[in-house]
Amino acid sequence: MIDVLIIGGGNAALCAALMAREAGASVMLLEASPKIWRGGNSQHTRNLRCMHDEPQDVLIDAYPEEEYWQDLLKVTGGLTDEKLARIAIRASSSCRDWMRSHGVHFQPPLSGALHVARTNAFFMGGGKALVNAYFRSAERLGVKVRYNTQVTDIELDQGKFVAAHVAEHEVDGQRFAAERIEARACVLAAGGFESNREWLREAWGQNERGEWPSDNFLIRGTRFNTGILLRRMLDLGADVIGDPTQAHMVAIDARAPLYDGGICTRIDCVSLGVVVNRDGERFYDEGEDFWPKRYAIWGRLVAGQPGQQAYSIIDQQAIGRFMPPVFPGTTANTLQDLARQLKLPQATFVKTVEDYNSACRVGTFDHTALDDCHTQGLTPAKTHWARPLKKPPFYAYPLKPGVTFTYLGLATDETAAVHFNGKASPNLFVAGEMMAGNVLGKGYTAGIGMAIGTAFGRIAGVQAAASVGFGVSSANSESRHATV
């Protein structure tokens, strides 16, 4: 029988598989997707938020534990488990040598990235290169990897993992028989439920306008994170954490594909201009904080607007100051013409921009600092980077909510164990998006998804191996770090 079964094929699953295998356990990894789509949302990532007390290879200055924690506390509004959060934060300072030992390379951020040279280490070749490196390393170490294997059920005996079930299914015309796969321990790392349209609809419900907001959401990542396993675990009585409507949601280009649009569909000019809804009205402070700390609130903000639609409007002054979107914007030399092309109510839109323009109190514009350019007497205010939009051509980018990942997950502890009625399972563990809600009750700060997945993936792998008698290899001191 296999010692450790890993369910999922993204960063958290791969970290768990590698650690369990390094500890000496036999490991099998089940990935729902075909090989070409392996790697879940992790294949779309770019960076890891890293604590460090002094400059380290690709990271400049310092980003101490306390600052990292305060940043997390701010974005979550306190909806975080400090103990688990600090585990992820501390692990982010020491995991990169281990990552490198499995073929991951880092690079400094490219210009135009989210001002993160100090806080975030970028993966050379992005998340796709990272997961490819991990899969290669796992296979070299003898981890058995199976694709097209969506686990549909978990068999338990009083909170103890017994077997995973795979229903009979078909992929690209090929039939796969139903299976029952036994193992002595298991790590669940099968992502959130963001690609389950019905579940999103159920969670978000119908709004006061009679709309089903989630019908207009786009999914930035993998179509394979359907939450089947998460739902099954909840039905089986696993302890749950988080709110099903909480998710990392970015305002992305409304023209992006329904799934897997990835990073290039993001629209990063929000803080440089104004954002209006389809009624031509502003609805939030576009200059509240640095874009990396705020970009993940804009998906929810747009979700609250009529038709879940908005437009990011800039003028010529902003060009060159943000990563250009993949699709060109709508351009016009007058605000009236822009409104006409966007089919916005012309008078309201022009008044919105003119009111904003006359409320701007321009000091010293500095997009790299919380500058003193702000509005006065305007609701909602724009508190930084407020400059009148008066230099044509004007540009508009249509926005829709883009779900990155959902936060509803399984409650866990520092050993990454799944809990039933507050009691830790002896051999069932959880990592990544399936438990990220323990640390992220709401909000987001760039690069923490991979930090949580790497920390708890590694812990889950070590603990799963240990639960079936495989201790930490004395040759690998990094493994020991993963347990603290």
Ligand X SMILES: Cc1cc2nc3c(=O)[nH]c(=O)nc-3n(C[C@H](O)[C@H](O)[C@H](O)COP(=O)(O)OP(=O)(O)OC[C@H]3O[C@@H](n4cnc5c(N)ncnc54)[C@H](O)[C@@H]3O)c2cc1C
Using the contact rule CB under 6 A, the part of the chain among 222-230, 277-285, 330-338, 419-427 near ligand X is 222-230
438 touches ligand X by CB under 6 A: no
Q: How far apart are CA 162 and CA 151, in angstroms?
A: 14
In the shown chain, the binding pattern of residues 169 to 198 toward ligand X, with x for contact by CB under 6 A and - for none, equals --------------------xxx-------
Comparing CB distances to ligand X, the nearer of 335 and 439 is 439
Angle at alpha carbon of residue 387, lines to 383 and 393, rounded to 5°: 140
Applying CB under 6 A, which part among 98-106, 218-226, 238-246, 415-423 lies near ligand X?
A: 218-226
Burial of 443 per CB tally in 10 Å (0-12, 13-18, 19+): buried
Measured from the CB atom, is 151 or 301 closer to ligand X?
151
* Binding flag, residue 263, ligand X (CB under 6 A): yes
Whole-angstrom Cα distance, residue 227 to residue 229? 5
Report the nearest approach of ligand X to the CB of residue 33 (Å).
4
Strands (E), 306-453: 310-314, 330-332, 360-361, 374-375, 394-406, 409-410, 417-420, 423-430
> To the nearest whole angstrom, how small is the minimum distance from the Cβ of residue 290 to ligand X?
16
Binding mask 122-151 for ligand X (x = CB under 6 A): ----------------------------xx
Of residues 42 and 425, the one with the C-beta less far from ligand X: 42
CB of 134 to ligand X, least distance (A): 10
Nearer to ligand X, 326 or 378 (CB): 326
Q: Does 31 bind ligand X (CB under 6 A)?
A: yes
- Name the segment binding ligand X (CB under 6 A); options: 8-16, 62-70, 237-245, 293-301: 8-16
The count of other CB atoms within 10 Å of the CB of residue 320 is: 8
Q: How far is the CB of 121 from ligand X (least distance, A)?
A: 10
Residue 449, interface with ligand X (CB under 6 A)? Answer: yes
Q: Which two tokens stand for residue 239?
A: 């302890």
Give the pairing type, strands 218-219 and 394-406: parallel
Minimum separation from the CB atom of position 31 to ligand X (A):
5
Q: Does position 96 bind ligand X by CB under 6 A?
A: no
| Residue 423 main-chain phi, psi, to 5 deg | -105, 130
Total interface residues for ligand X by CB under 6 A: 43
Q: Quote the CA–CA distance of 427 and 469 in Å, as a whole number.
A: 11
CB 3 within 8 A of CB 123: no
The two structure tokens encoding residue 342: 């966007």
Q: How many of the other CB atoms lie within 10 Å of CB of 57?
A: 12
Residue 320: which residues within 8 A CB-CB, separation 6 or more? none
Is 246 an interacting residue with respect to ligand X (CB under 6 A)?
Answer: no
3-class SS at 129? helix
Pick between residue 226 and residue 479 the one whose CB is nearest to ligand X: 226
In the bound complex, what is the minimum distance in angstroms from residue 403's beta carbon to ligand X?
A: 8
Residue identified by tokens 């729902």 is 32
Name the minimum Å distance from CB 433 to ligand X. Answer: 4
Q: Measured on CA atoms in the order 269, 270, 275, 278, is the torsion positive or negative?
A: positive
Q: C-beta of 192: minimal distance to ligand X in Å?
A: 7
140, 448, 276, 370: CA torsion to nearest 10: -130
- Cβ burial 274-287 (10 Å sphere, 16+ → b, else e): bbbbbebbbebbbb
Instruction: Give φ, ψ of 123 to 5 degrees.
Output: -80, 130
* Site for ligand X contains 437 (CB under 6 A): no
Q: Could you tell me the CA-to-CA distances from 94 to 53, 61, 101, 163, 482 in Å, in that order?
A: 11, 16, 12, 34, 9
Give yes or no for residue 463 binding ligand X (CB under 6 A): no
Q: Which of 4, 6, 10, 17 binds ligand X (CB under 6 A)?
A: 10
Q: Based on CB atoms, which residue is closest to ligand X, 435 or 465?
A: 435
Residue 145: name the closest of 26, 295, 62, 272 by CA.
26
Residue for token pair 């640095």: 290
CB of 451 to ligand X, least distance (A): 6
**Residue 433 in the binding site for ligand X (CB under 6 A):** yes
Q: Which is nearer to ligand X, 262 or 325 (CB)?
A: 262
Tell me, what DSSP letter sits at residue 449?
H
Near ligand X in 63-82, by CB under 6 A? none
H/E element, 177: none
Closer by beta carbon to ligand X, 219 or else 338: 219
Asked if residue 221 binds ligand X (CB under 6 A), the reply is yes
What is the smallest separation between the CB atom of 153 and ligand X, expressed in angstroms? 9
* Least CB distance to ligand X at residue 285 (A): 24
Residue window 393-432: x/- pattern of binding to ligand X, with contact defined by CB under 6 A: -----------xx--------------------------x
Quote the least distance from Cβ 8 to ligand X, whole Å. 3
Nearest to ligand X of 114, 275 (CB atom): 114
Interacting residues toward ligand X by CB under 6 A: 7-13, 30-33, 39-42, 44-47, 150-151, 189-191, 220-222, 224-226, 228-229, 262-263, 404-405, 432-433, 447-450, 453
